[in-house]
Amino acid sequence: MNAIVVYESVYGNTRAIAEAVADGLGDARALAVRDAGGAGAVADLIVAGGPTHMHGLSTASSRQMAVKAAHEDGKTNVEEGADQEPGLREWLHDLPHGDELHAAAFDTRLDKSPWLTGVAAHSIARRLRQRGYEVIGTESFLVEDSEGPLQDGEVERARAWGAKLASAVQDAATRSQRASAA
């Protein structure tokens, strides 16, 4: 299986989750969205993730505001290129049609009610479906504060979720092979 994990990250929390998901998938690559380019065109499974900003998927202005606020607070834990284009929203818009290929979506967000924080994974999944992908999973990973860190156990949970996604894709391939052989 050729899998990629494409992520957008401002403070490094989403990158850490993406790397753990890729590890759980097995032989998968985690790519920052600015480095992903057309990688989605050759993947059997795309896992896309980003931080929840203002109740949903980040925008160019929300990323710029987050980076500016971090610098004004004297914080240096901002990911290189965090405020550059393309963001995940733009990358998903340009993603080739999936023709029923598999995809999954994740986000990082505060550990509060989704009604209060929003859930970027829902927006990501919707955009993947609009591009023709079969979304096999969505997940939120929790941070302690808006800039992090991740809550204890979230990296391990992301690795396990990646393994679960790999198993789901393998099971679907087995069912498809059986159906075509019948």
pLDDT at res. 76: 64
pLDDT at residue 70, as a whole number: 78
> For position 176, what pLDDT does the model report?
72
Residue 83: strand, helix, or coil: coil
What CATH architecture applies to the domain 3-181? Answer: 3-Layer(aba) Sandwich (3.40)
What token pair was written down for 172? 């679907």
**Alpha carbon of 2 to those of 22, 24, 102, 158: distances in Å?**
11, 13, 11, 19
List of the chain residues with pLDDT < 70: 75-76, 182
Q: What is the model's pLDDT at position 84?
A: 79
Q: Name every residue whose Cβ is closer than 8 Å to that of residue 70 and which is 6 or more positions away in sequence.
A: 10, 11, 76, 77, 78, 147
Q: What is the pLDDT of residues 76-112, one digit of tens each?
A: 688 888 777 889 999 999 999 888 799 999 999 999 8
10: left (phi over 0), alpha (psi -120 to 50) or beta: alpha
